[in-house]
Structure 1
Amino acid sequence: MMPMSPKRTSAKSDRAANLLAAWPEVRERIAGAPKLFIGLDFDGTLSPIVQHFADARLPGETKGLIARLGKLPGVEVAIVSGRALDDLKSRVGLRDITYIATHGFDIERRGRLWHHPRAAEFKRVTAQVAKELARELAPFNGVNLEPKGYTLAVHYRQAPDAKTVAMAKRAFERVVSPWREAGEVRVTLGKRLLEVRPGEPWGKGHGLAMLLGGPGADARKIVDTSGAFTGDAKDVLALYIGDDETDEDGFKAIRRIGITARVGGTTVPTAAEYRLASIAEVRQFLELVAGTR
């Protein structure tokens, strides 16, 4: 068993150090790990944030880098996203990597698919909420509804002004509140979006735990109440990099056993141990990792 690094708290802080600045220390851990698991968020981490969610693409340079990492001995790369599985795969366009989609509700690994056991139930509820939201949000220009199977997102990045956003949010609340109060759904915030997710507490961290826990792992049994992975990672050093509030689940899950970094500004509190300033710094770090393995 690889020696475990000192246990790190999962509490949020705004004092995380830059991961590139910490490279000498981090390099030693990466080089010495028998197995390396690299989890990467998509939007805002690998792909630039765009005005309309449908326009997001993976830059060619980044795609080539991920493909190269995935072919290294002892390395597994997983793209982690709130996007639906087919949507995510079409935007990344790589076959021999792992996909954790819809916040961990869908996983594809080595050609094998896993779906949350309550998938059909969640989809029925989300479809009903989406139908009501489509009707109530139709009058608001620049407010776009994105159904994603188990979840849905309301994007308001293209809304023309603050008044439109405020009115759309009130309409959103009118629709969603009864479902939320009944425990059927919960609402999370992203970058210029509102997301409706199943009421069961499940996120990207659970998807990561499913993979790190080994065959047959049940994330509900190896993720504690703080969101931390409690299973045996079997000589795996895990990395997770993301830029959004939904990525905090991932940071909490693997910080005890790996390396975590949040992309973006330095003032947002995070459970990640490190920060990276931009997508460019993410690529720079991944190039260093590729050179080390």
Structure 2
Amino acid sequence: MSDTLLVTGASGQFGRLVIKHLLETQGVAPGSIIAASRDTSKLADIAAKGVKTVAADFDDAASLEKAFAGVNRLLIVSTDSLDGTDRRLRQHSAAVAAAKAAGVGHIIYTSMPLPDESLVTFAPDHLGTEKAIKASGLGYTILRNSWYMENLFASIPNALKSGQWFTAAGQGKTAYVTREDLARTAAAVLASSDTSSNTYTLTGVEALSNDEIAALASQIIGKPIQVVHVPDEGLLQGMIAAGVPEFVAPTYLSFDTNTRAGKLATVTGDIEKLTGKAPITLKAFFEATKDAFLAA
């Protein structure tokens, strides 16, 4: 592998896993990898493995172009700027522009399923980024990542304690997938020599409703969960009453309305196609994390 590969957001959970899989699964030489972060002090452990680290601030276009210089394949991990403005899209657009200016050959981007149809409040950020990448003229691989299984730590622990899971998702289903499997796939694509432009939807092996997920969690973890179906407004007001900030609550609600509309139910074999290995099931995830769910 002679290409230079750069991972943005390398100090975050996803970025760290991508670098782990570049090194351990893909066998990429540390000297061919660049880990980028706004704060490089958080990358000391990665640097100790021989990986180069650089400062890259999505709000500083000059730092991005400098960081991307000499990079052949670039993974743009979507930022977490969800403040109700278009900041996230501006950040991503700046990264795409910097990649073009720096002469990057291929962009890989972590998007979301059906950004053109999704009811999730931040879907336009992903759709706009995809359009910016395509308009750049650079080669690209767009990875439309389904919801993390780890996201269930935001709901299942409370449901285990109270015995109830309040949801507005109805019988809509989600093809949950682990962060690990998504990062493993991103590493495979980043390390690949494929220069064709493609869009993939990365999902788990099955789509399940919240009723089915609750039943599975109850069976494996050993505590009953009753799913309580509520209207959108009821869930919204319940979240606010529980302390969720009013500007954030509509985004959380949009996850349920999007699920109810069937926008996360697609199941593909793209992870296995790209890596040669199928993602783990939700059953296996619950079995592996049972103690963590009880302790959360």
Give the strand-richer structure, 1 or 2.
1
TM-score, normalized by length of structure 2?
Answer: 0.32
Larger RCO (CA within 8 A; separation ≥ 6): 1
TM-score, normalized by length of structure 1?
Answer: 0.32
